[in-house]
Amino acid sequence: MATHRHVAQVEQVGHGLDQARASTGRYRPTLSVGRDGIVVPLQHKIWQEGATATVAVLDRRGKRLGTVYLGRMPASGPGTLTTQRNALLQALLSQGDRQGLRLVSGTDDGYHPSDSSQSVL
Q: What is the mean pLDDT of residues 30-54?
A: 83
Identify the band that residue 10 occupies on the pLDDT scale cut at 50, 70 and 90: very high
Question: How much of the chain exceeds pLDDT 70, in percent?
Answer: 80
Q: State which amino acid sits at residue 48.
A: Q
Tell me the domain boundaries of the chain. Answer: 2-119
- Helix (H) / strand (E) containing 76: none
Query: Rounded to whole angstroms, what are the CA distances from 82 to 8, 16, 26, 70, 79?
Result: 18, 22, 32, 10, 5
pLDDT value at residue 114 = 52
Least confident of 22-26, 51-55, 94-98: 94-98
Task: Kindly report the pTM of this predicted structure.
Answer: 0.78
Stretch 54-62: mean pLDDT, rounded?
95
